[in-house]
Structure 1
Amino acid sequence: MKDVIDRIGSYPEEDVTFLLKDLSAVSIEKSTEEREKSIQSGIHYSEMLPIEYKPTDEYMKLFYASLEDSKQKVALAAGVVAEQIYEKSGKDAVLCSLARAGTPIGVLIKRYIKMKYHVSLPHYSISIIRDRGIDEIALHYMLKHHPEGKVAFIDGWTGKGAITKELIRSVERFNQRFGTRLSSEIAVLADPGHCADIYGTKEDFLIPSACLNSTVSGLVSRTVLNEKWIGPSDFHGAKYYKELSEEDVSNLYIETIAEQFPSIHKEAERLALRLQNDRVKPDWNGLASIETIQKQFGISNTNLIKPGVGETTRVLLRRVPWKILIQPGAEEALQHILLLAKDRGVPVEEYKNMSYRCCGLIRPAEKSL
C-alpha cells in the first residue's frame, strides 16, 4: 500500500493534496505535431506530455479580462456544487478532484465549504485517464485514511462525457474487486454535455481556468501513465513545473473567485435546493450534436471531436486542430478561442447544429496537413 506522498504543486498544502508521483526529472514532452502523430498511430495520450503552451501577453490580458468578467458566475456555480455535495455528505465528504481540470474547482469547493460551514474537508487530486481508468492506488490511499468518508468526485466541465463514462466504469470495477461502495457520481461547474449528476449550470460558458495549462492548476502537468516510470504500486505521475513560478496565476485565480463567496452564498443555497428538488437524470443529449458533426465532417473517431468551450480551448492549446465550429452570435463570449485560432492559423466556421457554444475538431491523420 502506497503511503508516501510526493509534495508537488504551488497551492498551499491545506488546499489540496496531489496523489501523484513526481516525474519532474523525466523528459517526457513531445512537440504538438509529434504527439498528435503518436496518438493517432495508437500510442496512448497518457504516455507522453505536450510542451506547455506559453501564452502571449495579449492572451494573458484576455485571461485576466475573462476572470474579471466571470468571477461571480464561477463563484456561484462553485457554490451551487459545494452546497449539493455538503447537503449529501456533510462533514463526511472527501473531495476528490480529477486532475488536472478538476483541481482548481475542488480547491474552490473546499474554500466555499470552509467559508460557509466552517468545516475543512479533506481534498485530494488524483488521476483518471480515458480508456485506462482511475488511479486505484490513489483510491486505496483515500479509503485507508478516511474509512468512513464519502468520496465526491469533482471535475471542471463536461464535453461529450468520456471522463464521466470512464469514472462510472472504473468505480464499478473497483467496487466489485474490493467490496467497496464508492459512488461514481461526478460534480462539475458546467455540464453542457448533460451527463453529470451534480452541476452548477448547464450553460457552456468560459471557466477561465480552461484558458491556461499548468499555470492555473498549481504548476502541475497533465497526468502520465507510462510503465517506464510508473510501477504497479505507484500513483499515476505528473510533472511539477517549478520553473514557471513567475507565470503562475493558480492562487490568484482561487483568491479572485473565493472573494465573491460571501456575496453569492445565499443565491447558491437557493439554486442548489432547486436543483436537488428538480433533480433529473443525465440525458446525455450533447451526444446527438457529436453524431451530427461526425457524419457531416466525415470523422471516423469521436475522440477527434471536442465539444464545449473548455474542450475547444484544450484542442487549441495542445493538439493539432483542423477547424473550430462556433455558434452564430457567440463570438463575444469566445474571444480567447478566436485569438488562439488566429495565432495557430486554424479556420473558424459558424455552425448552428449543436448544443454547445463551440466545438474543436482535431485534424484526422488521413487529412493532409
Structure 2
Amino acid sequence: MTAFDATRTPPLCGPQFGSYAPDEVTWLLKDLSDVALEGDLRERERRIQSGQAHYAESLPIEYQPGPEYRQLFHETLRTSARRLAEAVGVVSELVLAERSPAPTLVSLARAGTPVGILIRRWMQTVHGIEPQHYTISIVRDRGIDTVALDHIVARHSGESIVFVDGWTGKGAIQRELTAALAEYARLPDRPRLNDELAVLADPGSCTTLYGTRDDFLIASACLNSTVSGLVSRTVLNADHIGPGEFHGAKFYRHLAEHDVSAQFLDSVSAEFEAVRDRVRDRLAAMTPESRTPTWAGWRSVEQIRLEYGLSSVNLVKPGVGETTRVLLRRVPWRVLVREGDLPEHRHIRLLAAERGVPVEVSPDLAYSCVGLIKEDA
C-alpha cells in the first residue's frame, strides 16, 4: 500500500450497496442513500444551464417508464442479446491482446458498470481468468475521482488498468478521461495510466478498443438504475464529499421490484458460447487502419449545434444510448432520427410520445439518432 492511499470511505459491494454480486464489482463510491439529492427536473436543468449549479451536485428524479416501455425493454433484450454478446467478446479479446493478459477493469459509473461485468464474465468464461473490477466516478468539467484512483493503483500495476464505459457519443468522456489522467500523472509519485476507453459501441470513432462502431441499441441504455445495479448517477458535492472521500452515489433499494440488472447480464452472457466463432472472425477482419479513431462524431455534433442554434455541444447528445438518456433524465427539446421507423428506435419513439417531444427525420445524420436538450429550460 502506497503512502497516498489515504481513503476515508470504504469500498462498497452488494448486497449492502447495489444489486450486483460482490465478486462482480467493487463500487469505489461513498454511500449517499440517505441524503436528499433529487429535485424538480426543470428547475435542476435551469440551474445547470445558467451556471448556478453543476450537474453532478444533484440528481434528477429518475423517470420510470410505463408498462408498455418496460415490456419493450424485455423484447429488445431478447432480440439484441446475441449482438451484444458479440460486441462484448470483441472488445474483451482486444483488451487481452493489446492491453494486458491480466487486466484490472475500471468502469466509469454508471453506464460502464454492467459492461465491465460482462467483460469480466467473458474473460472468466472463455479464458478462465477473473479480473478485479472496480467502478469509479468521472464528472465532466470536474475530472476523475483521484481518491478512487489512488485506491486502485495502490493495489494494482498501472499497466494493468483498463478503463471501461458503455459507449461513446461525441467523445466528451474520452476527452475528459484523457485530461484527467494527464493531471493525475502530475501528482507526486502517481503513474501515467493509459487513457483509452474500452467500450461496447464507438459510433463517435474515439477509441480503438470497441466491440462495434455501429450506432445500435445497447439494452442497458434503455433504463436508469434498474438496469445498473440500482445505483444512481454519481455525485460530487462539497456538502457531502470531503477530502479523502470517494465521489458519492445512492442505492435505490425501493426500486428492487423493478430491477432487471441481473436479467440483462445473464441474457447477454448466455450467448457467449454461440458467438465465439463470430468474434474470432470479426477480430481477423479488423485492420489498424479501420480501427484508427477519426473523431467524426464530434465534428458532426458541432454542425448540429450550429444548425439548431444551441449554445453548447453539451446540449447535443448523439447516438441511441445518449438520446435515450436525454429522454429518461433531462428536459428534451427534440429528437432527430436518420430513419423514421427504424425498429431499434421503438423505445425512443415511445418515450418521446410519453413526454411530448417531437421526432424529426434528418436523413443526413452521422448517427442513427440524436437527442437535443431544451435550452434555457
TM bin, normalised by shorter chain, reads over 0.9
Q: 5 Å matches for 1:270-281?
A: 270-275=281-286, 277-278=288-289, 280-281=291-292
| Mapping of residues 1-369 of structure 1, within 5 Å | 1-2=6-7, 4-7=10-13, 8-42=17-51, 43-147=53-157, 150-177=160-187, 178-275=189-286, 277-278=288-289, 280-365=291-376
Partners of 1:231 and 1:312 in 2: CA distance: 33
- Identity, in percent, stands at 48
2: CA distance between counterparts of 1:138 and 1:70?
33
Normalised to the residue count of structure 2, the TM-score between the two structures is: 0.94
Structure 1's 284 and 89: CA in aligned 2 closer, same or farther, altered over 3 A?
closer
Q: Distance in 2 between matches of 1:191 and 1:149?
A: 23
Mapped partners of 1:188, 1:81: distance in 2: 7
The CA deviation at 1:244 is: 0.8
Question: What is the CA-CA distance between 1:179 and the residue it aligns to?
Answer: 3.9
Deviation digits for residues 122-159 of structure 1 (CA, Å, limit 9, x no counterpart): 00011001000011111111111113651111101111
How far 1:276 sits from its partner (Å)? Answer: 5.8
Q: Deviations over 1:250-290 (max 9, x none)?
A: 01100010000011123213323433655643110012221
CA contact (8 A) 1:126 1:138 kept: yes
Alpha-carbon offset, residue 238 of structure 1: 0.2
- CA shift in 2, pair 1:276/1:220, >3 Å: farther
CA 1:275/1:174 → structure 2, altered by over 3 Å: closer, same or farther? farther
- Aligned counterparts of 2:208 and 2:342: Cα–Cα separation in 1: 30
In the TM superposition, what is the alpha-carbon distance from 1:354 to its structure 2 partner? 1.9
CA contact (8 A) 1:99 1:222 kept: yes
**Count of aligned pairs between the two proteins:** 366
Question: Secondary structure of the residue that 2:286 maps to in structure 1?
Answer: helix
Q: Distance in 2 between matches of 1:329 and 1:35?
A: 31
CA distance in 2, matches of 1:265, 1:107: 18
Assess if the C-alpha contact under 8 Å between 1:160 and 1:193 holds in 2: yes
CA deviation after TM superposition for structure 1 residue 83, in Å: 0.5
TM-score (norm 1): 0.96
Secondary structure of the structure 2 residue equivalent to 1:173: helix
- Structure 2, gaps ≥5 residues long: 1-5
Shift of 1:232: 1.5
Q: 2:175 & 2:341 partners in 1: Cα distance?
A: 29
Q: Which one-letter code corresponds to 1:234 in the other structure?
A: E
Instruction: Describe the shift of the 1:227–1:276 C-alpha distance in structure 2 as closer, same or farther (beyond 3 A).
Output: farther
**Partner SS, residue 107 of structure 2:** strand
Contact kept, 8 Å, 2:12 with 2:26, in 1: the verdict is no
User: Secondary structure at the residue paired with 1:349?
Assistant: strand
Please report how far the alpha carbon of residue 172 of structure 1 lies from its aligned counterpart in structure 2 after TM superposition: 1.1
RMSD across aligned positions (CA): 1.4
How far did 1:87 drift?
1.3
State the SS of the aligned residue for 1:294.
helix
**Worse overlay, 142-151 or 177-186:** 142-151
In 2, Cα distance between equivalents of 1:331 and 1:47: 36
Q: Is residue 143–residue 149 contact of structure 1 (8 Å, CA) maintained in 2?
A: no
- Measured in 2, the distance between the counterparts of 1:188 and 1:6 equals 24
Q: Deviations for 1:35-84, whole angstroms, at most 9, x for unmatched residues? A: 11111111110000011111210000110010011000000001100111
Aligned counterpart, 2:3: none
What amino acid is the match of 2:174? T
